[in-house]
């Protein structure tokens, strides 16, 4: 399984950038990497009541921004020594998009940052990192 790409879950945050940098220090140089940004449209995914209409371009704008974010993450991975490709995937919840993409692409390792939510809010919101660890059969590197 170590022959598959490293999947970086990249959300554009400083922590996600740090996760790429930390992985570069711990892994062999020149590995293939897939930099993934998971996105969710704001007003799509349900049947509207009262014949309400949506601005369909909003979902396209969110998708485009996610693609740009993933491309930026891929450029950071390239600078860190990976041969990288970017991808943006629509999924909810976020952890599911990460786990499913890792499966589909045969990733050997998933790398992501943990935002360390604490207290009641952190408990109620859950953690993407914790959910990926729980639901993935693949190795996961969580950078704090």
pLDDT band for 30, please (50, 70, 90 cuts).
very high
pLDDT in tens, 67-91: 999 999 999 999 999 999 999 999 9
According to the 3-state scheme, what is the secondary structure of the chain? CCCCCEEEECCCCHHHHHHHHHHHHHCCCCCEEEEEEEECCCCCCCCCCCCCCCCCHHHHHHHHHHHHHHHHHHHHHHHCCCEEEEEEEECCCHHHHHHHHHHHHCCCEEEEECCCCCHHHHHHHCCHHHHHHHHCCCEEEEEC
Residue with tokens 């940052």: 113
In a domain, 85, yes or no: yes
Q: What's this model's pTM, rounded to 2 decimal places?
A: 0.84
* Residue-wise pLDDT tens digits, 37-53: 998 876 444 445 566 55
Give domain status of residue 1, yes or no. Answer: no
In a domain, 133, yes or no: yes
**CATH number for position 68:** 3.40.50.620
Does residue 18 surpass a pLDDT of 60?
A: yes
Residue 129 lies in a domain: yes
Question: What was the pLDDT predicted at 117?
Answer: 59
**Segment 59-66 mean pLDDT:** 83
Q: Would 63 be classed as within a structural domain? A: yes
Domain that holds residue 34: 6-143
- Mean pLDDT, range 17-28, rounded to an integer: 95
How many domains in the chain? 1
Does residue 71 sit within a domain? yes
pLDDT tens string 89-132 = 999 899 999 999 999 999 999 999 887 655 554 444 448 999 99
């Amino acid at each position: 399984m170590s022959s598959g790409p490293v999947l970086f879950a990249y959300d554009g945050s400083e922590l996600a950038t740090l996760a790429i940098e930390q992985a570069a220090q711990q892994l062999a140089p020149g590995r293939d990497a897939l930099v993934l940004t998971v996105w969710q449209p704001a007003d799509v995914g349900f049947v509207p009541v009262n014949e309400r209409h949506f601005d369909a371009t909003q979902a396209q704008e969110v998708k485009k921004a996610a693609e740009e974010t993933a491309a930026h993450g891929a450029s950071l991975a390239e600078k860190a020594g990976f041969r990288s490709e970017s991808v943006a995937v629509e999924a909810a919840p976020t952890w599911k998009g990460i786990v499913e993409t890792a499966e589909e692409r045969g990733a050997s390792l998933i790398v992501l940052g943990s935002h360390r939510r604490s207290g009641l809010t952190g408990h109620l919101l859950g953690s993407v990192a914790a959910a990926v660890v729980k639901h993935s059969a693949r190795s996961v590197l969580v950078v704090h």
